[in-house]
Structure 1
Amino acid sequence: MKPNIAEYKKMLAAATPGPWAYEETDSGHIIRMGTAIESPYHHDSQHAIEYDHCCYYDDDEEENDAENSQANEAAANAKLIAKAPEAIESLIGEVERQAEEIERLRKALEWYADNSNYKLGATTLGNRAREALRRDTPDA
């Protein structure tokens, strides 16, 4: 599946700017967001998402029992959500960097694949470049 980078960038731009942070509470977790838009009305700005999963760690039970496993999973979900904007932004940057590198290498291969760039005719390098270009699929 090819990532829709433009869509992800729009989503990040529309979301509350970071940093976002994870905080554990007595009844769940809070995802604290950086700088939310201040409300012009009498409502508090949404700087936090309270994730009250009502799952509690049970010290009397085994670490991997159902109740503790559920609490661990809920904590992992909240941590993932809090880290998502930073992770998505980082991954977009890496995908864009790799796309630029692929394009640079493609241009180099195209030069080697072009027989007119050799004074003495086709070479083994030209054959290898043409083979690499045939295998390359930009949508993969």
Structure 2
Amino acid sequence: MTLHDTVNNTWHRSIAIQPDEKRLINLFTHIAKAIYLIEKSEIWLGKVSVLIEFILSMTDIEQNERQAEMARTANEMLAHVPHKGANPEVFSYQFVEVDGLAMVRLHFYGNSKVSAVYVSHCC
């Protein structure tokens, strides 16, 4: 397949694969829970809602547009939140808590991002 880099206005040849999304969500859920433990010194017992920003649908353009809008919102929310991590070229994260709601954004190799929202386990 051919991809258009709209930032640099260049075209690149690439491949598209279907990853095991369920397995990746499980992996990122565990990472998010580990970061919660580090940040809050307590175990998160609720659910974690994961958005893998670098996986796009090959068939649902509207889903991709919704995902892009959520990524833009996360960019705005986290613009002033510092990155943490010992090797930020490989991995860093941003953790924020506002009005009792928490989220983490994982950054892999700079621009591959995963957002995770901690869904309340109360009520």
- TM-score w.r.t. the length of structure 2 is 0.22
- Structure number with the bigger relative contact order (C-alpha 8 A, sep ≥ 6) is 2
